[in-house]
Amino acid sequence: MVKQILGKGLQSLIPKKESKITTLIKGQSKSINWLKSRKESIFNVEVDKIRPNPNQPRKDLNEEGLIELANSIRQHGVLQPLIVTKIETPTDRGQQVEYELIAGERRWRASQKAGLPHVPVIIRDSAAQEKLEIALVENIQRENLSAIESAMAYKQLQNDFSLKHREIAQKVGKSRTAITNIIRLLTLPNEAQRAISNGKISEGHGRAILMANPKAQRTLFQIVLKNGLSVRQTEDKARVLASLDKPKSAGPKNPLFKQIEKDLGEVLGRRVSILKRGDRNFINIEFASQKELDKLVVNLSKN
């Protein structure tokens, strides 16, 4: 067997690399088979009658990638149908029919560049929430959204439709922790978010920067850019900055504070602690449930 392979020359031992076009065709073919299994009808619709989805998670479309896709479409056509919903508007002459994209904006824009008069579509009758959910699931999994674009899409589901992180996770096939972590990226300084979107830093860098105090995050981000820190180095730097923000121990607790803690604890029936942080003092009262908090409020209101 080895002799047979060697007899064919060195090239027989080196796997051939597929072209981008071949990879694209294979991927699109799988999608077509998937559509056939769902028994959904495909229609040809005028490109000019389709409009973009305002809820599209992807905000930035790479121009170079669109040109490459347009060249492929000129040669092979649109192999994977767009998904749209029909929009009917009453006019003096009857009904004006348009189509709003649910998924496939890159293919639609590339088809425009390629000069196609029609594109294949699947028409779905979708309510607003279903449209956004379909756009999220299909675009996030197929279009390689940036971490910030994904976070904005998840945040929109949370705000517009009151979905919990667990519910979002179920819809997009991720863990609840993953959804929570990616949404937290939206609390980063704006310049750090833009850097993640532009690929200057990674999502891992963003999570590491979040380990620092909010006031120190912008400074840490600038250090990361200037010095080209790795994710691990960024985490180490964030821990150092966080340790600097921790209040220093004020030494042994004042005996008077200890007595007041004891007396208040007996009156309120809760554990009480008095803390000193620099020039400021705090009283902490522990409670285990909303019911206990309600009783505590009543007791404090009487005194």
Q: State the helix-helix crossing angle for 20-38 and 63-76, rounded to 10 degrees.
A: 70
- 1, 5, 18, 19 from 10: Cα distances, Å: 14, 8, 18, 21
Which are the contacts of 117, defined by CB distance < 8 A and separation ≥ 6?
Answer: 46, 47
> What DSSP character marks residue 188?
S
Indicate which residue of 46, 63, 68, 105 is catalytic. 105
Distance CA 60, CA 274 (A): 52
Q: State the helix-helix crossing angle for 214-227 and 190-197, rounded to 10 degrees.
A: 40
Active-site annotation holds for 105: yes
Distance CA 59, CA 153 (A): 10
Distance CA 90, CA 94 (A): 6
The string of DSSP codes covering 66-83 is HHHHHHHHHHH---S-EE
Task: Please identify every residue annotated as catalytic.
Answer: 105
